[in-house]
Amino acid sequence: MDIGILEGVNANWGLFIILAGLWTLPWKGYALWKSARRGDKWWFIALLVINTLAILEILYIFVFSEKREKGVNKKEE
């Protein structure tokens, strides 16, 4: 077995993990902040616990939190 091949695989995975973390952290932070400000307790817990490479966070920010905001604005008019 060639050790050189395994070292390359480990280095690539390490780089992937670092890049995934750098991608996910700002999205997670913003989604957690937004859910806390809106009082969405269950969303806050889900976003904190579930790691989906920011897919869930992006959906919350642009889809789920927008639906309620639009609905609230229509009721106020």
Domain contains 30: yes
pLDDT band for position 51 (50/70/90)?
A: confident
Taking only the tens place, the pLDDT of each residue in 9-31 is 677 888 888 899 999 999 999 99
Q: For residue 74, is pLDDT > 50?
A: no
Domain annotation covers residue 13: no
Residue with tokens 């920011």: 54
> 45 lies in a domain?
yes
Domain of 70, in residue numbers: 24-76
Q: How many domains does the chain have?
A: 1
Residue 58 counted as domain residue = yes
Instruction: Tell me whether residue 3 is in a domain.
Output: no
Residue 18 located in a structural domain: no
24 burial (CB, 10 Å; 0-12 / 13-18 / 19+) is: middle
R_g of the chain, CA atoms, integer Å: 18
Give residue 3's pLDDT: 58
